[in-house]
Amino acid sequence: MEEFQRAIDRDPTNADGYYNLAACYHRLASLYHRPNDIAQAERYYYLCLDRAPNHRECYRGLAVLLVQQDRKEEAFRLLQGWTDRNPGSPDPKIELARLYEEFGDREKAKQLLADALLTDASNARALAALGRIREMEGDVGQALANYQKALSSNPFQPEVAARVAALNSAVFARSSSPMNGDSIAVARPSTPVR
């Protein structure tokens, strides 16, 4: 934290310094549940956004903090506002979709991801997120197609590569099985692939 504070002291316009301090306080708040840590985390997240109004990681961190504080509506307003201010950017739509998915509204999440892909058809994060939702819904073929396209856009996604391998393995096992049933049992991803 001292290093991040020194970075801010050297360059008060450095949004990443504020974000890193916010993330540290957020981590402390999660560990110790101290109100001062929560307040400091929120303060530094907002200071980051003042300096970099499209700081994706900051929006995500602040939204998580708000949800953890039972301020779900504020989290949705935060991300919706970011989306409204940046209609040509896929990032706000992807983060808002992620929040909708986390609260169980997959349809709204899919709609937002589709909108993000209209803006940037090869956005690896949007494709991977859409693949995850498709996989959770049991649409293995479409999930695999989304994951593969995400990997072609950005091959440095080990979680996505693991999902492709698992799905391919399941499809191969199904096709070579003498009891060729309709369902494919695939281990679900334990962490989001975004």
- In the predicted model, is pLDDT for residue 184 greater than 90? no
Angle between helix 56-68 and 35-51 (nearest 10): 150
What digits encode the pLDDT tens for the residues 79-109? 999 999 999 999 999 999 999 999 999 999 9
Identify the H or E element spanning 168.
Answer: helix 158-176
DSSP 52: -
Which amino acid is present at 20?
Answer: N
User: Contact, 56 vs 95, CB < 8 A?
Assistant: yes
Helices and strands: H and E segment counts in the chain: 10, 0
